[in-house]
Structures are given as structure tokens and as C-alpha cells.
Structure 1
Amino acid sequence: MKKKTIYVVIAIAVVAILAIGFQTAPKTPAFDFESNPIVDVVTTYATDPTDSYNRTVRRPNQAQIDEVQSRLISLSGAKKTKEFGDALTLASIEIGLHDGSSINFQSKNDGTLQLICQPSSQIIEAKNDGILMLFGRADPKVYLINNEDFHRYVINLCSGGDTTVATKSG
């Protein structure tokens, strides 16, 4: 009888630990642009969906960058995934951050929108004379974005469509 009690207590403890872990693990990406500001934004757009190499590249102005930032802070509809997806990228926003990491939104020709959060480079090995020998990158975090409004916004920004005034966050 005592063994059953121990197993029940262990099972309850495991379930409680897992429940706490799932509650504290971020389900959506969170961005802190005060401690890690945006330093560069580049958008690309495939003007011909059948020719992915024929692209228009733009650098948004500051108002557009501010708008991207304000939309990212309130981004919803992101679901973490492990797959990059093989569909052709038609539009993308590449955001470089101060710490060397990047955020990349890719609108695919299958109608999906992916967010790829690429960590900054990490030193694997360095010589004692200060010359850096090898770099490594941690695995990126990949999300599928199920937010039609934001997806339309990405395509509109990348294609050079009408832009809105940057939203001022309180």
C-alpha cells in the first residue's frame, strides 16, 4: 500500500512541475526594444511570384521602422514550430538588432507567414592573441504567424504600398 502512495505523490509532483513549466514558457515571442534596439531593417519583395530572384529591396524610413516596432510589441497569433517550410518566400522583413541577433518575417507563396528569430553569433573558440577563429549560431526560434492583419501589413510594407504614420506607444 505504501508503494502506491509514493507513486501517486511522484505522479502529482511531475504533473505539477510540467504544468508550471508550460505556464512559464513563452508561447509567443516577446520583444524588448529598449534594451535591444532595432539598428537596421531591410524589406524584399518578389515582383514576379514565379521568379524568386527578381526582387525589390527597400530600406524603410524611420516612421516605417517605428511602425514595425510598435506592431511587433503587440504581435499576436504566433505559434512556435520546428519547421522552416519549403515554400517560396515572396516578401520578407529582415530586422537587425543591436546585439547582433535578427528577426525575419517571411511571407510564403503557400499563404503562410513565418517569424524566424535568429540569435546573435556566439564565440566557440578564440585564440589567445585576440583573433577570433570560429563562430557558431544557436538554433533559431521559428513561429507561424496566424494574424491576417499583420500578414497584410508585411506584404504592404515590402511591396512599397501605402504606409501609415508610426504608432506612438505610451
Structure 2
Amino acid sequence: MDILKERILREASVINSDVLKLDALLNHQVDPELTMEMGKEFARRFAEKSITKVITVESSGIPVAFATALALNVPLVFARRKKTLIADQDALTERVPSFTKGIVTDIMVSKQFLRPEDHVLFIDDIIANGDAARGLIKIIERSGAKLAGLGIVVEKSFQAGAGTIREQGIVVESLVKVASLEGGIIRFE
């Protein structure tokens, strides 16, 4: 997606050689028009996969996952990062570290929203080491649902995350692949 690359070059900030700040596009402010285009692109790429639900991890993945679910005309499910008083006590839970937040959290999905008959498309905003993605993939597997693939807005291909998921035989479609952030310069594959 050339428009996404252009916007990243114009509006993203390189924090260091590992961290790309996408607050103006994905993580703090959301451009609805661009987000809808990203959702349509993921829907196009996975159109033949008989998707019944789109899934993501709260919170930054929600806008693009919503746009994708809307384009596919299926429900959106998101893994919560915090348990609440009304949370399903029998939820599927996995402990995952967050690369950008520097913390470990539990993610959870209620069994009522992820069923063995589901074919799910996992959408996320950015992948670095892939810990959260691997955690949600484990939840999907334990639910009995079928994972149709993983759609990533920005893949940092210089980090291992997407590669380790591809090694599991999972289809990973990235809208943009960042090859390097060295020297404060964003380089795409």
C-alpha cells in the first residue's frame, strides 16, 4: 500500500533502531479513511478464506480489525488485556509480553465468542517479536477455531515475529514491511 508507506514516512517517528512510533496513524490517532482502506485491502487478500470472525488484541489493532470485519461482513472479537468484574471466568487466557510496553499482561477471549466452527482472521497493527500474536494464536488453537491467517499493518521484518509465525505454516499478509530503522531512517522492503 503505497499510501500507507507515504503516510508512515511523513507522520511516523523513529524512536530508536527497534521502535517506530505510529501514533499519528494507528496507536493514538486514527485516520478513518486510511483505516477503512487498510480493512478493505485485508478483506481482499483473505476473500477466499471463508472468514466467520475477525480477531485482534486490544487496543491498537481494533480500528483496522473493525474495518476488516466490516468489509468482510463478519463480527469482530478482541482479546482483552485486563480482566473485569464481569469477565467470563472460563475464558481462554494466555500470558504475553509486550515489546513496546515492556510489560507482561494476560490476554483473554471468552469461549462464547470463539467457537470450533469459526474460521478467524487475526488482524494486528504492528508485529515486532510476535509475542502477543503467538499468545492469541494459542488461544485460537485451544478454542478449536481455525486460523485463516494473520494480517499485519506494519511488519518490522528485521525482528523475528512474523518470521516465526510463518515458520508455523500460518499465512501472514503485511501491508508494509519495514526492513530497517537504523540511523533514524525508515527503510521499506
Q: TM-score, normalised by structure 2?
A: 0.24
More helix per residue: 2
